Structures are given as structure tokens and as C-alpha cells.
Structure 1
Amino acid sequence: MSSSEDEASTTPVETKTPQTFKELGVIEELCEACDTLGYKTPTPIQAQCIPVALQGRDLIGLAETGSGKTAAFTIPILQSLMENPQPFHSLILAPTRELAQQIAQTVEALGATINVRCTLLIGGMDMVPQAIALGKKPHVIVATPGRLLDHAQNTKGFSLRNLKQMVLDEADRLLDLDFGPILTSILQMLPPRRTYLFSATMSSKVESLQRASLSNPVKVSVSTKNQTATNLIQSYMFVPHKLKDVYLIHLLNERAGQTGIIFARTVVETNRLALLLRSLGFSAIPIHGQLSQSSRLASLSRFKSRSRNLLIATDVAARGLDIPAVDFVVNSDLPQDSKTYIHRVGRTARAGRAGCAYSLVTQYDVEVWLRIEAALGKKIDEQKPEKDEVMVFANRVHEAQREAISVLKAQNEEGKGGKGGRTRGGFGKKRGRDEMDKDE
């Protein structure tokens, strides 16, 4: 790589601290929309990105989870749309269905007063209603890459040749999920346009994507490597593996009535914990990649509406989802790396709110926990509950464990005579894209 190429790739930007969106150059209608949604003061990523985007520059935004980056690219898109109204004005690509849906909700909320039409294109849903929505010529399309390419190749009359702006959100994740070839196909069918790329990290893959899709971008970074929110209280409990569920129930009992996300490593463990907690009277609901798309959205909806106050999740919920009022996070199973830990605990203490993160560390997790602490650059406080207080729950927990395992075995027996075998059928290519829209 030559030095001249390097100089052209990014331009540094100075930090500013404006107190209102109006100071950033945002028009009155959108300032009012921000106020209605409770966006009182621009976050650092918004304060730095919005003026650059309004100047018509390509943009790279590097920011930690929960930093407000969705509004950082949505506001400039909507302002540009008001100046130059046209169908198929903007395209926003996201790696997962849930994140795409969340972005679409933000676009619709911010654009409600200016009658913005937004269409969501994600896998796991019928293509026909999506094709009908495209026929109504929306201003903004929010999509996962696989489903967008399906429509571009198969939906008559749909073209992005007049596209003005494009966003690649969670670009590092798009490439982690091997969307590379699909992104290449999409980029080849697009005209010259303004492009915003947002990512948590700047890997070599992301740099390659930047060079392929951006023109002399301004680079904005408000993230610090391995940083967690300053208003997040973190602690861990060193517990015997055979008593992990008992300590978890003690912890949840201490925080009864609050909203929390409990992370497990596998789909089976997620389902087991959900059954265990329900049998003990907790309002819990699972979410993982093996649920149907409608079930995943229903789980999120119930959690957001607080009809369920505990979400039991695999890492499908560790990144991208903006659920504002999460009081605490529990790592029932530790993640295998510090990056995932940071994204998990970033589900709480968002947008200036306080939050707590607890990790259950067994005798088998010590090495992983020490690696996480080393990556964070600090020792996490240990919580030491009185064992007698914890063991009060032991008998009830052991009974609930037996019930949960019995239900899982029954479900497994029922499933053996069901779907099994090939999942792609005769539509391997399209199904493959849909599968990529899911999370791991």
C-alpha cells in the first residue's frame, strides 16, 4: 500500500461538543423529531458524524455499542432526502434481521413528520409483500444483503440505479458473516453515491471494503479498544459449576422485577434456562438463531413491552439490538473472547443510563475470565454472597432442573420424526442467502 493511497483513504476530524442538533446543522423538522424521540443532546458519534455527512462527504464511523450511531447516519439521510425527494434515495445494509428491523423503526420514527416511506427487506419473510412494497417506490430501503440481492435479481421494475446514499452498518459483522461476495455483487450494480460505513473495529477486511466503496472518506472514531461504558458496574461471582443455576436464581431474586438479559453459550442451554426460570415463577422468554423469524421478533417485542422481563439469549442478542431499558446483564456462560463480552455487557448502561453486568465464573472458566480481564485492562470486582442465603434456593432449583431436562427430552423425541435432513431443498442458492441473514 502506497503512502498516497493511505492519505486518500481517511481524513481525521476534530472533536466538537455541541449541545443541540440544531448546532450540527440539522433542520427544524428533524430537530423536532429528535426531541419527540427523546434525543436531547447529540452523542459523541452523532456530534462528529452529522456535520461531516451534511457536507456531502463519505464517512467512516468507528464507535462502541450503544453510541447512537443509527441516528448518526439516519438524520443526514433524511435531511438529504428533504432537499432532494426521490424514490429509492437511500439504502441501508445490516448484517442481521433484527438489526435491520430496528434501523427501519428508527428511520420511520425520525421520518414520521416528513412522510418518509421506508421498506424493510429481510430473509425469513415472504418476498411477495416485500416486492409489492418496492412497487410503491419507497424513499429508504433497509435490508440484509442476501434478501436485497434476491430482489435486485428477481423483482421486476426494482432498480437502484438512481441511488444517492448508502450505509453499511456493522461492517465488521457483515464481513464476519461472509457476506463479502454478495456485497461485491451489490456494489457492482450501484451508481456513484455518498457512502457511510460504520463498524466497531477496523479490520483488514473492513479496510478492503472501505477502499472498494468509499471515496476519500472522513474517519470519525469515538471508540476506545476494549472499552465498556463508564456508567456500567461490572462484577463476577466465583461459583462451583454444579451450583451455577442456584447462584443465578439467587442473583435474579435479588433483582426481582427488573429487566435483564441472561446470556448462554448454546441454543440448548438457552432453552433449558428459559424452562428452568419459568418453572420457578420468573417471566422469561428465549431468543436464539434456531427460532423462526416471527418467533424471534415476538420474543423481542414481548421483552421490549415488558410483558416478559427476562430475555434468555445466545449471542444473537449480543450486538446491534437497541433495547433502551435493560437494567442488568448476566453472563450465565462466559463468552469465549473479550470482544463478545464487551458487546454483551453493552446491552445495558446505554444512552447515559446506569446498568449492571454480572458474570458467573466456575472452576472451568478461570483462564477465559483472566483473558477477559486482561483485555479490559482492569480487575473486575468479585461479589461474594453468603452461601447460606444462596443455598436456600437449592432444593427448588434442583427440582426445576429435572423438570426442564424432562421437557427438553420430550421435545427432542418429538423433533426426531420431524424436519431433519436437507434444509436447502431445491432452492440452495436463495436459502443460503436467507440462512446468512440469520445470526450464529
Structure 2
Amino acid sequence: MAAGEEEGSAAEPEQEPAAEEQPRSFKDLGVTDVLCEACDQLGWKVPTKIQIEAIPVALQGRDVIGLAETGSGKTGAFALPILQALLETPQRLFALVLTPTRELAFQISEQFEALGSSIGVQTTVIVGGIDTMSQSLALAKKPHVIIATPGRLVDHLENTKGFNLRALKFLVMDEADRILNMDFETEVDKILKVIPRDRKTFLFSATMTKKVQKLQRAALKNPVKCAVSSKYQTVEKLQQYYIFIPSKFKDSYLVYILNELAGNSFMIFCSTCNNTQRTALLLRNLGFTAIPLHGQMSQNKRLGSLNKFKAKARSILLATDVASRGLDIPHVDVVINFDIPTHSKDYIHRVGRTARAGRSGKSITFVTQYDVELFQRIEHLIGKKLPAFPMQEEEVMMLTERVAEAQRLARMELREQGEKKRSRNDDDDTEEAIGVRNKVAGGKKKKRKA
């Protein structure tokens, strides 16, 4: 990290010793009464493992490295100490939380607002895909907590007049491994250079990569390491299956499984935005309540999809890996890896969308003739052989005709959507050209009058 090794200590972080008697409540961890009440209203009855490890250390004023699997309650582990410190010394622009994705930023903001509702906490979300002017106005009001993606925050630090983070007291890097994997390293460096060295820093990550270790040395001072999961693993209550199928019948097998497990809510992961959109259209043509979520959708549409699924207005969410990390959707019953992930670690994050908070869940991974090696890598990573999901091949084959017709309609709709998009872009270009011509013409008239 260019932000200067001298900023943090290069020493290995202390390992927090296991508590002799596990705390049974947030009050036992040292959380103040007003925040304990907020936890209770949110339905957080007992703290999770990472909260038990991290909250007491953070309340003592130490820097924290939290290593925990997805769905482990990390947001509470850093939000509660920040809110408690804010109660003790109220101040604007108090904390900054960096996250890799827009959806995760909005979700963290919701949790801060819910936990801090009784103490009047104000948060602002600063992410791409939203008008910068309205964000500049929100920053001018100096919220207590900013939740941001690194790229857009750097834009504001460089271009928004009067905005700075020189008084910042807390920095949180959530999903740090993914922030760095998405090549935000330069932006993180820039942010570290313009915030105070005298601050508390919490770094949360599912994995301890070399890049995360480097960031830890640059950004944290004598941190305490709170690890609740040192190896890659999936939760015990998750039933994991695979199905081995010919690539050309993938759609038919998907429809078969959705029929077999009807009544459940599904998250289906696809590898590309285009395949996510295509599969959503295909399923809609067959009468399923499916909705897509991917990076080529506008921010409003992405949040709309997420909220409809959360509110159970739709039972199937098709997504790219934009939704595999951090998003807390409480009622996912089944995760389907329609396209197998190319990185084995992404499998852990995808299937972590189900069987959360002690509930059970299922995951089914589609393995075609082209995916065998990738699937073997996943089994090696999680340290277990997965059983095959029981299938009736004849019933799948009976679906092929209806599926073929739905595929044809989906292709037509995709083409139409593409043409509409192109024509909108052409209209925008034409309007811009007309605007430029009018300005030029206006300038010439003024000259003639002069």
C-alpha cells in the first residue's frame, strides 16, 4: 500500500483469546442500554460469534481484523461500537464504511439507521449509478456515517467543494478481500492518504489474502484478530447437491427443479448479465415470478428487484455475482448455481445466501460436460464430496418442447430490448448534436448583433 507502511504497525495482529464464559447478550458484551433495545427491536436476541469476538475489543478502542464467513453478523460487529462511540462523543462525519458493491452499501445504511433510529443517526450512501449533485448536497449536510464504494467516494473527495474527511474517527473496510479483488487498490490508497492517522480502523474480510495482509499493515495499528472461521466452509444446515447434465438441456433441468421444489424461494446465479436477463425472460414466459439483478441494470431497477424479492412479491431472483456477497435476504430457501462459478471461493459466497442465521437451506450446482474440473476444485475446497440431486430424466425430457418455445420468445425479447437501448442512445446523441448546433448558432447571432 502506497499509503505508507509507517502509518500502521507491521507486527502480526494479536489473536483474541477465547472467552472462558460465552456472553449471552449484547449487554454482556458492554453494549449500552439504548443500543441493546435497538438490537432487541431488530430481533437480534443473542450476539453471533463474530460479534462476541469483535465488539468488546472494539469498545476498548482497539483496531480490529474480523475474519468471518458470509452471513455471520459482521455489520453489527462494527456498527454497534461506532454508534456507541458516537453517543459518547457526538460529531458529524464521524465514520466511513467502504464496501465493494452498491447493494451492500444500501443494506449497511439500513442497518445503521435501524440500530441508531432512537439516537437520530444520519447516514448517506455514496455509490455509482446515482446523480452526483444530489450526493454532494447530502454530503454538505455532514451526516454522521458515510457508506460508500471507493470509486465514487474518491470522485467526491477530488471534485466536491468543501467536502473532506479530516475529522474522521472511524474507518471500516467491509468485504476487504473483494474491494481489493475489484481493483480498488488505488482508490483505497487515495482515501488512506486524506483521512486522519489518529482513527480507529476495522477491517472485515471473508478471506485473508496477500493483498488484505498488505492493507492491514498499511491501515491498522496493533490490531486484534477476531477469526471465527479460518478455513473455507459452508454452514452445517446447508444441504448441498449437484446435477450432471448435458449443456444443451440446462434450461429444461432448471424448469424441472423449480417445479419439483415449488413453494420455495430461489436465488439462481448466472455468470453473465446477458444470461441473467435471458433466463429471467425465459422463466417469465413459462409463468414463473422471476426477476433479474445484474450490473447492467440502473441502480433504481437493481434496488427494485432486490426489494420485490425481499418482500416476497417475487419468488425467484436471478443474479450475477453482484449479489453473492454480503446481501442479507432472510428467506432464501434454495440457491441454484445455474452457471458454475469460475472461482471456487465464489461458490462459498453464493451458497451462503441460504441457510442463514441457523435456518436450513439447499443448494444445487449444475455441472455440464465443460464444468467437471471446476466442480472438482469446489469439492476440494470445501473438503467434501457432494451427492447427486435425485432426478427423473424422462420428466425433464417432457419439458423440452415448452422450454424451446420459451427460449425463442426470450431471444426475441432480448433483441427488442437491445434495439430499444440502441435507439435511446442514438436519440440522446441526436439531442446532444442539436444542442451543440443551437449553441453555435446562438453564438453567431450574438456576434452579428455586436
Tell me which residue corresponds to 1:207.
213
Is this contact kept in 1: 2:330–2:356, CA < 8 A?
yes
Contact 1:338–1:376 (CA under 8 A) maintained in structure 2:
no
Inter-partner Cα distance in structure 1 for 2:200 and 2:411: 53
Report the Cα offset of residue 265 of structure 1. Answer: 1.2
Aligned to 1:138: 143
The 5 A counterparts of 1:415-430 are 415-417=421-423, 419=425
* Kept in 2: contact 1:172–1:205 (CA 8 A): yes
Is 1:195 the equivalent of 2:201?
yes
Tell me, what secondary structure is at the counterpart of 1:244? Answer: helix
Could you report, residue by residue, the CA deviation over 1:374-406 in whole angstroms, capped at 9, with x for unpaired residues? 111110011231222323322211211111122
- 407-416 vs 251-260, which moves further: 407-416
Is 1:33 aligned to residue 42 of structure 2? no
Write the deviation string for residues 110-159 of structure 1: whole angstroms up to 9, x where unpaired: 00011111111111111222222222221111111122222222223322
Distance 2:10 2:145 in 1: 32
Match of 1:90 among 92, 95, 111: 95
Moved more, 390-399 or 305-314: 390-399
| Pairwise CA distance, 1:418 | 5.1
Paired residue secondary structure (1:227): coil
Letter in 2 for 1:217: P
SS class of match (1:124): coil
Cα displacement string for residues 39-71 of structure 1 (whole angstroms, at most 9, x for unaligned residues): 111110000000000000001001111111011
Number of the residue aligned with 2:188 = 183
Match of residue 307 from structure 1: 313
State the secondary structure of the residue aligned to 2:11: helix
Q: Does 1:281 align with 2:315?
A: no
Q: Any residues of structure 2 matched to 1:329-408 within 5 Å, and which?
A: 329-408=335-414
**Where do residues 261-280 of structure 1 align in structure 2 (5 Å cutoff)?**
261-280=267-286
* AA matched with 1:106: Q
What SS does the corresponding residue of 2:43 show, helix, strand or coil?
coil
CA contact (8 A) 2:96 2:172 kept: yes
Separation in structure 2 between the aligned mates of residue 356 and residue 40 of structure 1, nearest angstrom? 25
- Contact 1:48-1:220 at 8 Å conserved across structures: yes
Amino acid at match of 1:219: K
Conserved 8 A contact 1:9-1:215: no
- 1:167 aligns with 172
How far off its partner does 1:412 sit? 3.2
SS for the counterpart of 1:228 is coil
Preserved CA contact (<8 Å) 1:104 1:120: yes
Query: 1-side partners of 2:150 and 2:342: how far apart?
Result: 27
Which of 220, 223, 244 aligns to 1:238? It is 244
Q: Kindly state the Cα deviation for residue 196 of structure 1 after the two structures are TM-superposed.
A: 0.4
Give 1:84 deviation, angstroms.
0.6
Aligned counterpart, 2:111: 106
2:16 and 2:225 in contact (8 A); partners too: yes
Counterpart residue number, 1:430: none
Match of 1:411 in 2: 417
Paired position in structure 2 for 1:429: none
Do residues 62 (structure 1) and 82 (structure 2) align? no
Distance in 2, matches of 1:302 and 1:240, equals 33
Q: Is residue 2:116 matched to residue 1:116? A: no
Q: Does 1:47 align with 2:27?
A: no
Which residue of 8, 12, 17 corresponds with 2:15?
Answer: 12
Give the residue type in structure 2 aligned to 1:273.
T
State which of 300, 315, 327 in structure 2 corresponds to 1:294: 300
Contact preservation (8 Å) 2:86, 2:94 = yes
Question: In structure 1, what residue type is equivalent to 2:55?
Answer: I
**Whole-angstrom CA distance in 1 between matches of 2:248 and 2:153:** 47
Instruction: Give me the whole-angstrom Cα distance separating, in 2, the residues matched to 1:98 and 1:10.
Output: 31
SS of alignment partner, residue 352 of structure 1? coil
User: Whole-Å Cα distance in 2 between the matches of residues 369 and 27 of structure 1?
Assistant: 47
- Aligned twin of 2:79: 74
Equivalent pair of 2:10/2:217 in contact (CA under 8 Å): no
Identify which range, 126-135 or 291-300, moves more after superposition: 126-135
CA distance in 2, matches of 1:398, 1:74: 49
Contact in 2 for aligned 1:262/1:310 (Cα 8 Å): yes
**What TM-score results when the alignment is normalised by the length of structure 2?**
0.90
Q: Secondary structure at the match of 1:14?
A: coil
Shift, 1:416, TM fit: 4.5
Offset of residue 7 of structure 1: 7.6
1:268 shift after superposition: 1.5
- Distance in 1, Cα, partners of 2:23 & 2:368: 46
* Alignment partner, residue 134 of structure 2: 129
Name whichever of 206-215 and 384-393 sits farther off. Answer: 384-393
Equivalent in the alignment of 1:433 = none
Measure the CA separation in 2 of the matches of 1:269 and 1:256. 22
Determine if contact 2:67/2:230 at 8 Å carries over to the other structure.
Answer: no
Question: Which amino acid letter does the alignment assign opposite residue 266 of structure 1?
Answer: T
Choose from 197, 213, 216 the match for 2:222. Answer: 216
Contact 2:344 2:381 in 1 (8 A): yes
For structure 2, the 5+ residue unaligned runs are 1-7, 430-450
Counterpart in 2 of 1:158?
163
Counterparts of 2:47 and 2:204, CA distance in 1 = 17
Aligned length: 420
Distance 1:172 1:382, change over 3 A: same
Q: Which has the larger radius of gyration?
A: 2
Q: Take 1:308 and 1:258, find their aligned partners in 2: how far apart are those partners?
A: 11
